[in-house]
Structure 1
Amino acid sequence: MSILEVQVKPNTKQQKIDKTDAGIWVVYLRSPPVDGKANKELIQLIAKELGLPKSRISIKAGANSRRKWVEVLVEP
């Protein structure tokens, strides 16, 4: 199990992930932060980046915030 600190920027023109020197992932999402759309897109994008199924990614804290802590379950 691993925890990622993620800064989300919703409603952008393109999807991308930047990683800072401090270990924070800055994730640019197309979806607006309405009805959980941005959170769903975030999980999908992180799963794709890590090559894992979406079921192994979950938001542990900050679901209603731009700063989130995302848990990644990695198989042994």
Structure 2
Amino acid sequence: MPISVRATIKPNSRKGPLVEILDDGTLTLYVRAPAVEGKANKAAIELLAEHYGVAKSAVRLASGATSRHKRFDIDL
């Protein structure tokens, strides 16, 4: 059964790649990729897969493809 994760993406980040967990349970994803042509989304999927220890194919962008605020479904 997949879990749903809310995340805010920070593209072009010098701090990344990094996952921060906020007090309300949402994640902040710092990725080095720019927010063009889906590069930041792809980097976020790779980062979440590494963070949760699953394959990249187990992480899907459920909503927010063009927004900083996204929802991912992850098959654990």
Aligned partners of 2:51, 2:13: CA distance in 1, in Å? 18
In structure 1, stretches of 5+ residues that fail to align are: none
Runs of 4+ aligned structure 1 residues displaced above 3 Å come to: none
TM-score (norm 1): 0.94
% identical equivalent positions: 34
In structure 2, stretches of 5+ residues that fail to align are: none
Residue by residue, what CA displacement relative to the aligned partner does 1:6-60 show, whole Å, maximum 9, x if unpaired? 0000011131110001000000010000000000000000000111000000000
Q: Residue in 1 aligned with 2:13?
A: 12
Q: Aligned-pair RMSD on alpha carbons?
A: 0.6
Give aligned pairs, total: 74
Structure 2 counterparts to residues 31-50 of structure 1, below 5 A? 31-50=33-52
